[in-house]
Amino acid sequence: MSKTMQINPPQGFKFQSVDQSSGAINLVEIPKDIKERITNLNDVIRENGKTEEEFRESCKGLEPDEVAYKMIKEIVKAFNEGWVPDWTNSNEGKYYPWFKMGSPSGGSVSYGDCDRWYTGSCVGSRLCFKSADLAKHAGQLFESIYKDFLTV
C-alpha cells in the first residue's frame, strides 16, 4: 500500500528530486534573479501564478500572432515582477526589445538620418520592460515569439 503526502518546500526552494531508495527529498534554491528563474515559457507562466493548461486554454481559437501577443504580455509581466510603467513620469525609462528583421533580398524597412536623432515607438505600453537589460534578455530568449508577433 502506498501513501502520498503533500509537502510544501520552504520559501525560496523547489523540489529537485526524490531518492527512491531512501525517500529523501532533494531541494534546490530558487535563483533570486528573474533572469535566472526564467529560462522558457513554462517558467514565465509559473512565475505569473498560472498553469500551462490554463494558459493553453486561454489561447484556443486565436490566430498565431494573437497567441504570440498573449505570450509577450506574460513575458513582460513576469520579468517586470510587479513593476508598472508610470506614463506620467517622462524621467522613468521604459524599454522594449528592438529587432532588425529583414530578408537578404532587401525586403526590410529601415530609416536613417545623419544630422539629427529621432526615436519613435510602435509598441504597446503594456509591452515595455523596467530596464534595457531585461528588454534585451527577454528579446533574445524569446526571439521566436516576438518574430511570430511582429511578422505573422
At residue 128, does pLDDT exceed 90?
A: yes
Q: How far apart are CA 65 and CA 82, in angstroms?
A: 25
Grid cell 490566430 in the structure block, residue: 63
Q: Where are the domains of the chain?
A: 33-99+125-152
φ, ψ of residue 27 in degrees (nearest 5)? -110, 155
pLDDT in tens, 77-125: 999 999 999 989 989 999 989 888 765 554 444 434 444 444 554 545 6
Q: How far apart are CA 46 and CA 78, in angstroms?
A: 9
Grid cell 528563474 in the structure block, residue: 37
pLDDT in tens, 25-79: 888 887 789 999 999 999 999 999 999 999 999 999 999 999 999 999 999 999 9
Span 118-135, mean pLDDT?
75
What does DSSP assign to residue 127? G
Q: How far apart are CA 44 and CA 130, in angstroms?
A: 16
